[in-house]
């Protein structure tokens, strides 16, 4: 009975302190090694579903990754998060796209007007971040997982981050319970840690230990599943450091089960309905 009461108390604490159902905002200020502003890890034991580039892998989205339809479908299905990628065009427009080129045109060398009408499979034009966030703002129960892609140099990565922050503010989405950041760029993650420590900020590149990231104030990892299979201690070490954990990109049921058993907070997948089935009652959702 005593153990049950302690569990209920811990769960109640998590619910009361959690802004979005999984992570807790723990303050602002510059990070330091002894007081990293790490969002606390959810203690419910449930796992969030992150739709990779939106819920694109279905007829309704026209099988179009990073489309506005794919974001809308992720929201309508109530997935915990919906991931998307952003780049900076040659004339300084932030657009939503995965690769750094579109039909042979390098995004950072090309003005948006020359990219806009390189249509997605479902007929949408390449969305600007501004257009994308109009849809993003329509749901409070799906976290926007914003991947800031590497740019040609740190100066352009800074410009991209600044423009993302400005766009999020414009759409009233610059809030830790509405958006989180991920990046392969250590520079981007370090800047977010320094300037916006209250946001979940996960490093993607897999070449840093949890302890090394914490020294920089970076409060989460988002690593490839094969790496986390080899370095399975990373998840427990992140939990001990109160760092958040996500794994990409898991489409096979057996790997989903393994990662859930390892205790990751959330899983990025192209097959969110399969993951939903695997999780059953253990799916983490954001309540309104
Ligand atoms: Mg991505």
- Going from the Cα of 7 to the center of ligand 1, the distance in angstroms, rounded, reads 35
- Going from the Cα of 98 to the center of ligand 1, the distance in angstroms, rounded, reads 6
pTM given for the model: 0.87
- Going from the Cα of 4 to the center of ligand 1, the distance in angstroms, rounded, reads 40
- Going from the Cα of 232 to the center of ligand 1, the distance in angstroms, rounded, reads 22
- Going from the Cα of 249 to the center of ligand 1, the distance in angstroms, rounded, reads 9
- Going from the Cα of 6 to the center of ligand 1, the distance in angstroms, rounded, reads 38
Q: What is the pLDDT along the chain (288 residues), one digit of tens a residue?
A: 444 333 333 333 333 333 333 443 333 333 333 333 334 456 678 999 999 999 999 999 999 999 999 999 999 999 999 999 999 999 999 999 999 999 999 999 999 999 999 999 999 999 999 999 999 999 999 999 999 999 999 999 999 999 999 999 999 999 999 999 999 999 999 999 999 999 999 999 999 999 999 999 999 999 999 999 889 899 999 999 999 999 999 999 999 999 999 999 999 999 999 999 999 999 999 987
Encode burial over 187-205: b for 16+ CB neighbours within 10 A, e otherwise.
bbbbbbbeebbbbbbbbbb
CA–CA separation, 250 and 141 (whole Å): 22
- Going from the Cα of 88 to the center of ligand 1, the distance in angstroms, rounded, reads 15
Question: To 10 degrees, the CA torsion angle through 31, 236, 222, 10?
Answer: -70
Contacts of 219 (CB under 8 A, 6+ apart): 36, 37, 38, 39, 193, 197, 200, 201, 202, 213, 242, 243, 244
Q: What count of other Cβ atoms lies within 10 Å of the Cβ of residue 209?
A: 14
Q: How far is CA 77 from CA 5, 72, 129, 141, 286, in A?
A: 33, 9, 22, 10, 12
């Amino acid at each position: 009975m005593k153990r049950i009461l302690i569990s209920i108390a811990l769960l109640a604490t998590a619910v009361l302190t959690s802004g979005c159902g999984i992570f807790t905002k723990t303050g602002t200020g510059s990070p330091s090694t002894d007081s990293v502003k790490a969002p606390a890890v959810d203690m419910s034991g449930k796992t969030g579903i992150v739709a990779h580039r939106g819920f694109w892998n279905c007829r309704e989205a026209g099988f179009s990754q990073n489309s506005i339809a794919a974001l809308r479908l992720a929201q309508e299905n109530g997935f915990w998060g919906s991931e998307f990628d952003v780049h900076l065009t040659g004339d300084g427009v932030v657009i939503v796209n995965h690769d750094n080129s579109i039909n042979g045109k390098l995004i950072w060398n090309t003005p948006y007007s020359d990219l806009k009408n390189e249509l997605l499979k479902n007929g949408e034009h390449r969305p600007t971040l501004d257009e994308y966030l109009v849809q993003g703002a329509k749901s409070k129960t799906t976290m926007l997982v914003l991947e800031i892609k590497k740019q040609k140099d740190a100066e352009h990565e800074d410009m991209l981050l600044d423009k993302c922050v400005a766009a999020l503010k414009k759409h009233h989405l610059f809030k830790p319970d509405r958006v989180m950041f991920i990046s392969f760029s250590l520079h981007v993650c370090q800047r977010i840690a320094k300037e916006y420590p209250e946001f979940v900020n996960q490093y993607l590149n897999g070449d840093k230990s949890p302890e090394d990231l914490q020294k920089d104030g970076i409060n989460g990892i988002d690593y490839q599943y094969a790496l986390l299979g080899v370095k399975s201690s990373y998840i427990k070490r992140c939990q001990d450091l109160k760092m958040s954990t996500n794994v990409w990109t898991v489409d096979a049921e057996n790997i989903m089960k393994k990662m859930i058993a390892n205790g990751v907070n959330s899983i990025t997948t192209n097959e969110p309905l399969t993951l939903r089935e695997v999780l059953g009652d253990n799916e983490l959702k954001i309540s309104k």
